[in-house]
Amino acid sequence: MLILPTMAFSVLMSMASLNVRMTAEIFPKVKTIDLRKKHIGPSCKVFFSHDPIKIVRAKGQYMYDENGVRYLDCINNVAHVGHSHPMVVKAGAEQMELLNTNSRFLHDNLVQYAQRLQATLPEKLSVCYFVNSGSEANDLALRLAWEYTGHKDVITLDNAYHGHVSSLINISPYKFHQLANAEQSKSVHVALSPDLYRGNYRQDHPDPATAYADDVNNLIQKAHEKGHKVAAFIAESLQSCGGQVIPPAGYFQKVAQHVHRAGGLFIADEVQVGFGRVGTHFWAFQLQGEDFVPDIVTMGKPIGNGHPMSCVVTTREVAEAFKNSGMEYFNTFGGNPVSCAIGLAVLDVIEKEDLQGNALRVGGYLTRLLEQQKEKHPLVGDIRGRGLFVGAELVRDRVKLTPATAEAQDIIYKLKEQHILLSADGPHRNVLKFKPPMCFSEEDADMVVEKIDQILTDIEKALGLQMPSTVHTKNGSRKRNVQPEENGCHHSNGIGHSHDTSQQHASLQNKRLRP
């Protein structure tokens, strides 16, 4: 009988294991679909369900299917610093090879990462709880608020989404409005979304921040009249699933005043928009100004570049109240050495590759290109965003704001045919969402906007839609002739100014695109 040396045996076993893994990756797509239908919950949906894409690898801002076809990824805010970033992969692999265990053992990675993370935040936000997902983070944030205040009620925003666990479905109108015969919890109060485009108070309102904040105050007063007390107001710093909504400046400050007066806390949900995505700041809540600091901040998705980790950061006072409840908080995987090594690597990459600066530059460029499409295409009703968090809302009518839902879906599928991945969201599913990896380039922006331009032209031609004609002002400059059926309201994200549309269109046509 042949007896192999230990090392040779180990090599053979490793090769066998590799062969098994490789075999598992090369199922025909139809078999992968059949197995998914058989073994995966039917409510777990896939993108492009009639013809889903099977992705086998990804790098940077690109994803590749089983045939090697490359797709430009415009939506994957989980791969924050780029898919499969070598520095992040190396950090995780090296730490996994050395040690992984739970946080009840002392380990430097945990405290080093907490220290690095806190340095990006206002000083009073100094205590971290590490968990595994955005849902876990937001659930823990509610527990902190309930314990600190002794109150139970929560105010959330219409169209908000905060996670999939039971406590968060209750405060996520984006989800619970989809449930048949669902009854809203008596301890949950839904405030108006601070949407300046189609909300109750729009851009022409003299003080929309105060008006939307007064709505929150009214909810507080109504809750008090019924004997309820508010524990927390929770909001995504920029609403994502709700349609890329940017709250007016000063809104959070005014809401925080009302909530604090009622004895509640302000929770800022940064799960979708943190870690430099907005460009000008590291955290989206900072867009409201230096005088606004939440009581609790939650984060997830981009924190580990695809590795499952998340965090809740709060004040010492809130943390001490949670401790004094007498219940120990323990999370098996939260803050483990591998997760923290990966988190540190993500922070390193953001800094070394100036990805926050890239988000500002490329996000501004993308927004300007889309603003020019608004001037050209009647279906484009509004462009809004900050950095590499941008939405383009499509409407059939600019006065009535009739959602162009079908047209948005048509664009998504036609882009997929041209190997560009984009999604549509919002309460009417008519907002094209841009949340790409932070290494997204101006060349990528040129490519996707040129394709959108072509698709919009075809759709509008089929529908017989045309932009209103232009008239000349007294000084000879061209001005759009606002027709009775057109809103004519310009809602910019404030990043830069648009160039001449005809010149930009020419540059899009002439600029060499990536293969």
Whether 35 has a pLDDT exceeding 60, the answer reads: yes
Contact 284, 277 (CB under 8 A): yes
Domain assignment present for residue 313? The answer is yes
Of 421, 390, 395, the residue nearest 408 (C-alpha): 395
pLDDT exceeds cutoff 70 at 470:
no
pLDDT for 21 beyond 60: no
The strand pairing partners of 154, in sequence order, are: 188, 232
Read off the CATH number of the domain in which 349 is found.
Answer: 3.40.640.10
Least confident of 5-19, 182-196, 215-229: 5-19
* DSSP letters for 33-82: HHHHHHHS-TT---SSTTS---EEEEEBTEEEETT--EEEESS-TTSTT-
Give all strands (DSSP E) within 301-379, no chain letters.
Answer: 310-314
What is the pLDDT, as a whole number, of residue 182?
Answer: 67
410, part of any domain = no
pLDDT digits (tens, 9 = 90+) for 164-220: 898 988 989 887 776 666 678 899 999 999 999 999 999 999 999 999 999 999 999
Residue 232: closest CA among 183, 323, 168, 320? 168
Task: Assess if residue 8 is contained within a domain.
Answer: no
**Which of the pair, 263 or 168, is modelled with greater confidence?**
263
| β-pairing verdict for 62-65 and 55-59 | antiparallel
Residue 469: what pLDDT? 60
Give pLDDT, residue 175: 79
Assess if residue 166 is contained within a domain.
yes
Residues 368 and 442 sit within 8 Å (Cβ to Cβ): no
Q: How high does pLDDT run on average in the chain?
A: 88
Residue at 507 is within a domain = no
**Stronger pLDDT, 504 or 215, i.e. the higher one:** 215
In a domain, 425, yes or no: no
Neighbours of 418 (CB within 10 A): 13
Q: Domain of 126?
A: 86-353
> How is 462-513 classified by DSSP, letter by letter?
HHT--PPPEEE-TTS-EEE---TT--------SSS----HHHHHHHHHHSPP
pLDDT tens-digit profile of 396-423?
A: 999 999 999 999 999 999 999 999 999 9
Q: What angle do CA 84, 89, 93 make, to 5 degrees?
A: 150
Question: What would the mean pLDDT of 292-301 be, rounded to a whole number?
Answer: 98
What is the reported pLDDT for 108?
A: 97
Look at residue 326 and tell me if it is in a domain: yes
CA 30 – CA 116 distance, rounded (Å): 46
Instruction: Please tell me the distance from the alpha carbon of residue 200 to that of residue 153, in angstroms, as a whole number.
Output: 24
* Residue 419 backbone phi and psi in degrees, to 5: 65, 40
Distance in angstroms (rounded) separating the CA atoms of residues 279 and 435: 12
Q: Is the pLDDT of residue 467 over 90?
A: no
Sheet strands (E) in 350-463: 380-386, 389-397, 402-403, 420-421, 423-425, 431-434
The percent of residues in the chain predicted with pLDDT above 90, rounded, is: 78
For the chain, how many structural domains are there in total?
1
Contacts of 255 (CB under 8 A, 6+ apart): 212, 213, 216, 233, 235, 266
**Lowest-confidence region among 45-49, 85-89, 91-95, 228-232:** 45-49
In this predicted structure, the answer to whether residue 488 has a pLDDT above a threshold of 90 is no
Q: Are 367 and 383 in contact (CB under 8 A)?
A: yes
Q: Is residue 37 part of a domain?
A: no
* 58 pLDDT more than 90: yes
Q: Which residues contact 51 (CB under 8 A, 6 or more apart)?
A: none
pTM of the model: 0.86
pLDDT above 70 (res 480): no
